[in-house]
Chain A
Amino acid sequence: MVQRLISADEATAGGFPFAYGYLTRLDPRLRIVLAAVFAVAVVALSDLIALTGAVLLAASLLPLSGLPAKRTFKRMAGMDGFIIFTLILLPFSVSGTPIFTVFGIHASWEGLWQAVEIALTANAVILALMCLVGSMQPVTMGHALHALKAPPQLVQLLMFTIRYIETLRSEYLRLRGAMKMRGFKPGTNWHTYRSFGYLVGMMLVRALERSERVLGAMKCRGFTGRFVLLEDFRMRAQDWTFAALFLGATVLLILIELRHVFA
């Protein structure tokens, strides 16, 4: 019953960090498409001025998305944690004009620029993705992906995950609580490993049985293998305006990249 400590507000918002901003009023399909277009465009950029522009463009979405800035930057830093070692090693692994030498290994300017390029690209893309798509409720995203003709199996997997992840979690917490109530303290020993093995095994068995019951319940309501989703999306004037502005800015970034070609 630990799971019932959710306020009504949170419940209506799905319990997920849910934003209210200008972007959240736009057509979710459009937001997904724009995020994808932006990502492809930015990955193709290599000019540092263009990339800095891309980061600024992505950052300008943040206030529009209504996402809390601090938590969003924290998540961005989380992603940076994954690539930090690549970035540190790049100056040493790329040969070129030396900057300095550590233990006889040269760091090169070329490598440093590449590292900066990758860092800017990654942060611009992740920030735009979080603002455009991350501000969406997962359910809405499922519907939007369906409307964008994403493979129905994947959309269904997503929808079932959204629906049952909480049930699985509360089942885990119930079992875990029951273990605690009988004096279980995890340690580095076989008893702990075995007990966690049982816990995971029991969750799998229960999940499997639940899936059979869910299928039974679905059949009882006439399910024959085809899902119909309810939500209808519409592109309104503000959607077209935002699409035009955002795509215009993206094209501008590409033009900055190509300025030497035209010059």
Chain B
Amino acid sequence: MSLLELHDITFAYPAHGLTLNGACLRLGAGERLSITGPNGAGKSTLLKIAVGLLRPASGRVVAFGQDRRTEADFTEVRRRIGYVFQDPDDQLFCPTVAEDIAFGPLNLGKSKEEALAIVDSILGRMHLSHLRDRITHHLSGGEKRLVTLATVLAMDPDILILDEPTNALDIENEARLLEILQSLPQAILLISHSADFREKIAPCGYRLADGVLTPLD
């Protein structure tokens, strides 16, 4: 069964031409796909449509076996898709790392104790326990990136969406990220300009150009 399907998605920003013009995508359980394409091709737009942050002009989003149309439909989708945004500063909005990681689990209805247990186990698994009580905006770029991944993993999603995860990472932190991602069981949708990183995480996938996705060989 496929986890996520996009059918003939079209989308246009106001006063622009069609950004997406009949894009189709299918992601199966445990599958890892990458999406490449020039700047401004609509890669992030496509992924935002998948989680309902943007609504397509036409086309269907089928997630976890159901058609998703309304905000209420997508609320459930978002709980099962972990989205790591391009800019960590957009994602880390709580004052401390622990609070930021606990934010998702608390929204899922976990108790404070359960949420804190999740925080500790995620940080432990990612070897980031030393960052637990740090102030989020004082983290380094690499630390921010790893913590955003932790905030998303804390919700135990079925799918991970990674939008340019290696942006502004040094070699060491990129290796850490790679190691963590390779150890995860989740299906992954990866946007990345780095051919090397794509090769290691998700060699198969699509190329987005002129509003259409074409499978990579």
Tell me whether B152 and A221 are in contact (CB under 8 A): yes
Give the CA-CA distance A230 to B101 in the complex, in Å. Answer: 11
In-complex Cβ contact of A230 among B75, B99, B138 (8 A):
B99
Let me know if A255 is at the binding interface, CB within 8 A: no
Let me know if B96 is at the binding interface, CB within 8 A: yes
Let me know if B137 is at the binding interface, CB within 8 A: yes
Let me know if B4 is at the binding interface, CB within 8 A: no
Let me know if B204 is at the binding interface, CB within 8 A: no
Give the contacts of A221-257 with B (CB-CB under 8 A): 221-224, 228-230, 232
In the complex, the chain B residue whose C-beta lies closest to that of A170 is B137
In-complex Cβ contact of A222 among B53, B93, B107, B136 (8 A):
B107
**Count of residues in A whose CB is under 8 Å from the partner chain:** 32
Q: A181 to chain B: closest CB distance in Å?
A: 20
Chain A interface, DSSP helix/strand/loop, else mixed: helix
Tell me whether A11 and B107 are in contact (CB under 8 A): no
Give the CA-CA distance A210 to B87 in the complex, in Å. Answer: 10
Let me know if A76 is at the binding interface, CB within 8 A: no
Task: Mark A133-166 against chain B: 1 for CB-CB distance below 8 A, else 0.
Answer: 0000001001000000000000000011011101
Tell me whether B85 and A217 are in contact (CB under 8 A): yes
Tell me whether A15 and B98 are in contact (CB under 8 A): no
Tell me whether B96 and A219 are in contact (CB under 8 A): no
Tell me whether B115 and A221 are in contact (CB under 8 A): no
Let me know if A197 is at the binding interface, CB within 8 A: no
Give the CA-CA distance A241 to B98 in the complex, in Å. Answer: 32
Tell me whether A12 and B93 are in contact (CB under 8 A): no
Tell me whether B96 and A216 are in contact (CB under 8 A): no
Tell me whether B53 and A163 are in contact (CB under 8 A): no
Give the CA-CA distance A142 to B99 in the complex, in Å. Answer: 13
Residues of A within 8 A of B96 (CB): 139
Tell me whether B115 and A230 are in contact (CB under 8 A): yes
Give the contacts of B12-27 with A (CB-CB under 8 A): none
Residues of A within 8 A of B11 (CB): none
Tell me whether A221 and B78 are in contact (CB under 8 A): yes
Q: B211 to chain A: closest CB distance in Å?
A: 22
In-complex Cβ contact of B83 among A11, A12, A220 (8 A):
A220
Residues of A within 8 A of B140 (CB): 4
Give the CA-CA distance A233 to B99 in the complex, in Å. Answer: 15
Let me know if B7 is at the binding interface, CB within 8 A: no
Q: A11 to chain B: closest CB distance in Å?
A: 4
Residues of A participating in the B interface, judged by any CB pair closer than 8 Å? 4, 6, 10-12, 14-15, 139, 142, 159-160, 162-164, 166-167, 210, 213-214, 216-224, 228-230, 232
Cross-chain pairs A/B with CB under 8 angstroms, 20 sampled: A6-B138, A139-B96, A163-B93, A163-B137, A166-B138, A213-B87, A214-B93, A216-B90, A217-B91, A217-B93, A218-B93, A220-B53, A220-B83, A221-B78, A221-B104, A222-B75, A222-B107, A223-B103, A228-B106, A229-B99
